[in-house]
Amino acid sequence: MKTKFYPVHYRLNKKNRYLILEIDDENEDTFYIDKKLIKIPVFTELKFLKQYAKKRDIKVVKDSEPIVHNLDIVLKWIKKNAKGKIECTDILTVWNFFIDMANTFELDNDELQAYRSKAVKAYKVYEKVFIGTNLPSVTQNNPPYHPKFNSKELKLIQRVLTYGYKKFKKKRIKIK
């Protein structure tokens, strides 16, 4: 089993930050945890992440600049009581980001981890969001899918992602 480490770039509260994602062959994706602090180390710049990793003999996969996970877009939507237009891609990005955080800390929240299909209602909404991203592998030769969410589905998304934001805030620490 070989673990690979990747930089993750996210934007929250109009600030760009970086953290380390761990991926191995057997487990689900998790964020790297500083063992002393039992928190996710967060960095203000990619170079600080690389310095931290080098000191700990963590070999970060050398990629181009990591894609930005814009958590602000969905947070703004949540603060508007899940009203207004929101893209499925944005919701899925944030939902998956928080799934990785939940996997990291073994949070037992079936709605957040709906992709496992333990929470039937959340799974259906997650699946609807996923298909609504219109990834070529999903839609193939079909026309684009633009899902309509009812108020219960929107509230579920709002509740799940609010939970994710709250937990993430408690589980991270700024290193540099």
Number of domains in the chain: 1
CA distance 160 to 176: 29
Q: Which pTM value belongs to this model?
A: 0.89
Which pLDDT band holds residue 1 (cuts at 50, 70, 90)?
low
- C-beta of residue 173 within 8 angstroms of C-beta of residue 42: yes
pLDDT at 43: 96
- Please give the residue that has the higher pLDDT: either 106 or 64: 106
Range(s) of the domain holding residue 141: 4-174
Task: With beta carbons less than 8 A apart as the criterion, state whether 43 and 17 touch.
Answer: yes
What are the Cα distances from residue 173, in Å, to 47, 53, 113, 131, 147?
17, 15, 23, 34, 37
